[in-house]
């Protein structure tokens, strides 16, 4: 007797769109959680008496853990059930957010953010990998686009939501808002999501995970502590040495593994390597800017938290506009000129921003922030898309994980390195002559501390010196960003393969330029159901190519 095979769409759960809505809400929370904290940094510096180094750790602890655990978290989901691990990740994130609302010291807040980073490492990759078991080929592209768009939309919402909360409630409210939305996501996963797994996925390598987490943590620790302890101090040198040894051991172990967790051979694809470099640099600069700008806008610009969030919108708006325009430009010109142009624009914006003075006014800041946003969108979005287009289709999942890991590492190092440059320049140029020792120490800890000391002791000269020192440090950071963007632009212009997407035509109707051997892109497995025009691209979309098996429950 012949077996009748039902169409895939006929077997789909009618509740899948409700489940997608809950996933979108959860991803929106994680999206604005990436930026909501930045606008609260001046408030935390005042109410928690946190130094610049502690503020760096409050932000970086989340990113370091996320970057180190994202790949093994995805593998855990593949082997033990994506729904099960997704729920576990949301629960861990919920616990971290709850702790964040209750603690009252910088050290405990760093611990809470670390717990949230563990949860996010599980949620973000698995939130995409469960979609193939929920949606058929005709709907999958729209589902992926909805999830990735929610994360993208969360980034500009973060400063606005955070500013609004901080103007009316205490600083812990920026963590409290996560709790109800994440709880909804947990309930939806429990009752609406099917279970799915891929038993053939590589095993989680505990030793490699430890090497990456401790090695990256030691690197960030050394960078953050160096301005205060000195770059030649035994603790800082020891941290850098330990980081180099552990990360080298990670590379050796992964290169020898038959099925590596972190497939470093992907870096042999020239297109993947240089596009990943551009995307990582963009994240490096973007994270550093979001760390230092809120303090400048609040302490020197005199804005409240919500006003600071509003004044960060030109950066986000420029990014979103150029990200959408970049798709058409890549179709017409290929990724190389678009990515190179974006990095060049970013270089110009950074060097322009380096000319900021304490009395420049917001109009000048808005100008270079808008230009910087345009550069980010032109460089990062095509680079991420082209990076995955330059590797074989069967390596898309590994490539997506490696690219996301590199970007998060870039963000963590950006906050650590650029924040340390800023702290070092500020500390060197601040004049605290004649102040009592404790007052001078508080002024050197942060710009917020200097303003509090100046207000309590009635020393407008100290406030002016602190403002000038901070702006000088910000100028140094922006100059470094501009030089780094220029170097990356020259490298991409000279070495990046220029492969236009299949079916696109050049300005004169010529056929797409072919990549060199080893860089030729394989057919995109998602081509049968592409996202709608204008939908934001995300490298994690490639994870849906690894369907695995799914068990209906």
Calculate mean pLDDT across residues 220-237. 86
The 3 state secondary structure assigned to 426-494 is HHHHCCCCCCCHHHHHHHHHCHHHHHHHHHHHCCHHHHHHHHHHHHHHHHHHHHHHHHHHHHHHHHHHH
> Does 203 or 276 have the greater pLDDT score?
276
φ, ψ (nearest 5 deg) of residue 196: -150, 150
Q: What is the rounded CA–CA span in Å between residue 103 and residue 80? A: 33
DSSP 522: P
Residues 6+ apart with CB under 8 A from 17: none
Tell me if 189 sits within 8 A of 382, measured CB to CB. Answer: no
Q: What is the rounded CA–CA span in Å between residue 360 and residue 459? A: 22
Residues 6+ apart with CB under 8 A from 178: 29, 33, 93, 94, 97
Residues 6+ apart with CB under 8 A from 265: 255
3-state class of 262 per DSSP? coil
Calculate mean pLDDT across residues 325-343. 89
Nearest CA among 472, 481, 422, 364 for reference residue 41: 422
CATH 1.20.1250.20 is held by the domain 13-201:
yes
Instruction: Decide: residue 295, CB within 10 A, 0-12 exposed, 13-18 middle, 19+ buried.
Output: buried
pLDDT at 123 over 80: yes
pTM: 0.76
Q: What is the mean pLDDT of the chain?
A: 80
> Does 481 or 77 have the greater pLDDT score?
481
Tell me what pLDDT residue 164 has.
86
Calculate mean pLDDT across residues 136-145. 71
Q: What is the rounded CA–CA span in Å between residue 84 and residue 80? A: 7
pLDDT at 154 over 70: yes
What is the b/e burial string over 48-57, where b = at least 16 CB atoms within 10 angstroms of the residue's CB? bbbbbbbbbb
What is the b/e burial string over 18-42, where b = at least 16 CB atoms within 10 angstroms of the residue's CB? ebbbbbbbbbbbbbbbbbbbbbbbb
pLDDT at 7 over 70: no
Tell me what pLDDT residue 10 has.
41
3-state class of 549 per DSSP? strand
Tell me what pLDDT residue 510 has.
46
pLDDT at 370 over 60: yes
Tell me what pLDDT residue 467 has.
92
Lowest mean pLDDT among 144-153, 320-329, 332-341, 439-448: 144-153
Confidence of residue 551 (pLDDT cuts 50, 70, 90): very low
| Cα separation values, 205 from 72, 197, 251, 306, 373, Å | 8, 18, 13, 44, 38
Q: Both tokens of residue 13?
A: 């759960």
> Does 545 or 237 have the greater pLDDT score?
237
Q: What is the rounded CA–CA span in Å between residue 452 and residue 480? A: 30
Residues 6+ apart with CB under 8 A from 154: 27, 28, 29, 30, 31, 32, 33, 34, 35
Tell me what pLDDT residue 501 has.
61
Q: What is the rounded CA–CA span in Å between residue 376 and residue 156? A: 14
Tell me what pLDDT residue 544 has.
40
Q: Both tokens of residue 362?
A: 């917001």
Calculate mean pLDDT across residues 80-91. 86
Q: What is the rounded CA–CA span in Å between residue 306 and residue 81? A: 41
Residues facing residue 550 across a β-bridge? 196
Confidence of residue 48 (pLDDT cuts 50, 70, 90): confident
Nearest CA among 135, 212, 230 for reference residue 408: 212
Tell me what pLDDT residue 6 has.
41
Q: What is the rounded CA–CA span in Å between residue 104 and residue 93? A: 19
Tell me what pLDDT residue 443 has.
87
> What is the percent of the chain where pLDDT is above 90?
20
Most confident region among 71-85, 163-177, 361-375, 407-421 by mean pLDDT: 361-375
Calculate mean pLDDT across residues 193-200. 71
pLDDT at 110 over 50: yes
Residues facing residue 197 across a β-bridge? 549
Calculate mean pLDDT across residues 291-295. 88
Task: Give the pLDDT confidence of 438-453 residue by residue, as tens digits.
Answer: 888 888 888 888 888 8
Dihedral Cα 36, 177, 188, 71, nearest 10 deg: 30
Residues 6+ apart with CB under 8 A from 391: 266, 269, 271, 272, 399, 521, 522
> What is the distance in angstroms between the CA of the first residue and the CA of the last residue of the chain?
28
Nearest CA among 486, 475, 444 for reference residue 462: 444
Confidence of residue 141 (pLDDT cuts 50, 70, 90): low
């Amino acid at each position: 007797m012949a077996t009748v095979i039902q169409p895939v769409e006929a077997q789909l759960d009618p509740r899948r769109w409700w489940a997608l809505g809950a996933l979108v809400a959860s991803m929106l929370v994680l999206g604005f959680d990436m930026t909501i904290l930045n606008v609260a940094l001046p408030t935390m510096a005042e109410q928690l008496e946190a130094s610049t180094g502690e503020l760096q750790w409050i932000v970086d602890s989340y990113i370091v853990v996320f970057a180190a655990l994202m790949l093994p978290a995805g593998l855990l989901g593949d082997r033990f059930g994506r729904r099960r691990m997704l729920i576990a990740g949301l629960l861990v994130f919920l616990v971290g957010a709850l702790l964040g609302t209750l603690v009252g010291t910088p050290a405990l807040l760093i611990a809470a953010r670390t717990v949230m980073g563990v949860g996010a490492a599980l949620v973000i990759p698995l939130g995409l990998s469960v979609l193939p078991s929920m949606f058929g080929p005709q709907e999958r592209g729209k589902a992926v686009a909805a999830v990735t768009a929610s994360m993208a939309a969360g980034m500009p919402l973060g400063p606005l939501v955070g500013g609004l909360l901080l103007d009316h409630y205490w600083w812990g409210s920026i963590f409290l808002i996560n709790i109800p939305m994440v709880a909804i996501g947990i309930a939806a996963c429990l009752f609406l999501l099917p279970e799915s797994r891929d038993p053939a996925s590589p095993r989680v390598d505990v030793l490699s995970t430890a090497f990456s987490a401790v090695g990256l943590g030691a690197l960030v620790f050394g960078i953050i502590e160096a301005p205060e302890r000195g770059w030649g101090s035994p603790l800082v040198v020891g941290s850098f040495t330990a980081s180099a040894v552990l990360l080298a051991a990670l590379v050796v172990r992964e290169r020898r593994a038959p099925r590596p967790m972190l497939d470093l051979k992907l870096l042999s694809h020239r297109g993947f390597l240089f596009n990943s470099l551009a995307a990582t640099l963009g994240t490096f600069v973007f994270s550093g800017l979001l760390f230092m700008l809120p303090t400048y806008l609040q302490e020197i610009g005199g804005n409240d938290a919500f006003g600071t969030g509003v004044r960060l919108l030109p950066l986000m708006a420029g990014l979103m506009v150029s990200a959408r325009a970049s798709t058409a430009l890549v179709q017409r010109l290929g990724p190389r000129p678009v990515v190179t142009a974006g990095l060049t624009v970013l270089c110009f914006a950074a060097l322009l921003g380096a000319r900021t003075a304490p009395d420049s006014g917001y109009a000048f800041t808005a100008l270079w922030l808008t230009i910087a946003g345009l550069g980010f969108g032109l460089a990062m979005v095509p680079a991420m898309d082209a990076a995955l287009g330059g590797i074989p289709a069967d390596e898309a999942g590994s490539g997506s994980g490696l690219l996301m890991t590199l970007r998060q590492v870039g963000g963590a190092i950006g906050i650590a390195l650029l924040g340390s440059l800023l702290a070092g320049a500020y500390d060197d140029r601040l004049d605290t002559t004649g102040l009592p020792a404790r007052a001078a120490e508080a002024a050197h800890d942060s710009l917020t501390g200097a303003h509090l000391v100046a207000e309590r002791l009635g020393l407008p000269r100290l406030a002016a010196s602190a403002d000038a020192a901070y702006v000088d440090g910000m100028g140094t950071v922006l100059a470094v960003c501009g030089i780094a963007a220029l170097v990356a632009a020259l490298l991409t212009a000279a070495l990046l393969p220029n492969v236009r997407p299949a079916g696109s035509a050049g300005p004169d109707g010529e056929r797409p330029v072919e990549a060199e051997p080893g860089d030729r892109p394989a057919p995109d497995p998602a081509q049968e159901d592409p996202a709608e025009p204008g939908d934001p691209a995300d490298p994690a979309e490639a994870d849906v190519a690894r369907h695995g098996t799914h068990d209906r429950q």
